[in-house]
Amino acid sequence: MAKKKICFVVAVPSTAQAFLKDHIEALSEDYDVFIAGNISYSDELTGLKVCSYQHIDIEREISIKNDLKAVRQLSSYFRKMKFDAVHSVTPKAGLVSALAGFLARIPVRIHIFTGQVWATRKGSMRFMLKSIDWLIAKLNTHILIDGASQRQFLIDEGVVSEKKAQVLGDGSIAGVNIQRFEPSEDSRKSVRQELNIADDKVVFVFMGRLNHDKGMYELLPAFDKLAETNKKVFLLLFGADEENVASTFETYKNLNEDNFLYYGMTKEPQRMLQAGDVFVLPTYREGFGSSVIEAACLGLPTITSDAYGVLDASIPDETGLRCKVGDVDTLFACMNELAVDEEKRKKLGTAGRNRVLERFAGSVVVKHWKHFYDTILR
């Protein structure tokens, strides 16, 4: 009996490499798996167990002419291959796949929501982007969402119906590679030596895009206030500076080379995060908060905001602390509490790691995906 066929649709191959590699490997045991997207070379899919790939001109920028061209290309490919299911990831791929799958009459059409750019937008841009998500949800037969609080947000906003929206397991699109994010005292010491951070410093670490949405303009003043009286604290930032946040560093009077470092980008998050004692993400919006569970897997307690999405990545007073979104004072209070309480840091960190191992290990998330497909295709 021939295997049923699944096609994943992505805008760029890096999406598949980052989030779908293990899922595709597990699914390929029982299904023929294909991938379509803006893929130019097979080398871009190295390590992915797919039968073949199809180049589709999916561009990130919105363009009616180019987007309709992509829909025609993808719809033609869908009809030719007669897929049993198509599954899109990211908004642009989601829109093109939803239209193409509907036109090609693919029986099972799936999209996974992993965050909403429009959540912090206003006016016509918010309306347009939100409408795209509404259309994606309307045209697909199954909607996956990578967290319970994001699911509720989309239901409350009228984007998805409660009946159609589904979270697999406890959420997270890919979980955590627990072998990669393994705590190591040797790594902690070596990274601190490289960065010239003293052993006795309590290091608050942030990893993500430096911008408003990630809470950078709350984190910096909260730490500045903390450093005014506590000389044992240190703030370490990793990520791309999207809004020239670095130009504001000098405006904080208590930031200096003894307690602050903006490292920039890193390709070794599993190693560099180990310099930290506490992970901080005071975000305004999040799909799930993958960086939170990665840090927790390394045994770091976490401080997060109460924004939707990131709510699912930690449990307040069990695996970390929670501040109010956009609020410097509550963020400062959380940082101050963990700065002076080593026992609490260890307790929260241990609980956080155990929770990740139990609920968010990559192998656990893959099992939920496999069960989902086995249920709808058999």
Spatial distance between the Cα atoms of 175 and 335, rounded to a whole number of angstroms:
26
Per residue in 343-365, pLDDT tens?
999 999 999 999 999 999 999 99
Spatial distance between the Cα atoms of 71 and 67, rounded to a whole number of angstroms:
6
**Domain edges within the chain:** 5-175+362-377, 185-359
Residues 6 or more apart whose CB falls under 8 angstroms from that of 353 comprise: 183, 296, 297, 298, 299
Same fold, 5-175+362-377 and 185-359: yes
Average model confidence (pLDDT) for the chain?
A: 96
The CATH number of the domain covering residues in 185-359: 3.40.50.2000
Task: Give strand ranges (E) for the chain.
Answer: 5-10, 32-37, 53-55, 85-89, 108-113, 142-145, 165-166, 202-207, 233-238, 260-264, 278-281, 302-305, 320-323
95 neighbors 79 (Cβ within 8 angstroms) = no
Model-level pTM? 0.94
Residues 6 or more apart whose CB falls under 8 angstroms from that of 152 comprise: 308
Spatial distance between the Cα atoms of 365 and 206, rounded to a whole number of angstroms:
25
Per residue in 73-119, pLDDT tens?
999 999 999 999 999 999 999 999 999 999 999 999 999 999 999 99
Nearest to 111 by CA among 139, 84, 83: 139
Task: Concatenate the DSSP letters of all residues of 287-302 into one string.
Answer: SS-HHHHHHHHTT--E
Overall fold of domain 5-175+362-377: Rossmann fold (3.40.50)
Residue 40 has pLDDT above 90, yes or no: no
pLDDT for the residue numbered 32: 98
Residues 6 or more apart whose CB falls under 8 angstroms from that of 196 comprise: none
Distances (CA, A) of 326 to 23, 214, 249: 36, 10, 19
Task: Concatenate the DSSP letters of all residues of 44-79 into one string.
Answer: GGTT---S-EEE----SS--HHHHHHHHHHHHHHHH
Per residue in 156-172, pLDDT tens?
999 999 999 999 999 99
273 neighbors 279 (Cβ within 8 angstroms) = yes
What number of other Cβ atoms are within 10 A of residue 1's Cβ?
A: 3
Distances (CA, A) of 195 to 45, 188, 230, 237, 253: 34, 11, 20, 12, 22
pLDDT for the residue numbered 204: 98
Kindly state the tokens that stand for 20: 């779908």
Percent of the chain at pLDDT > 90 equals 95
What values do phi and psi take at 163, rounded to 5?
A: -70, -40
Residue 2 has pLDDT above 90, yes or no: no
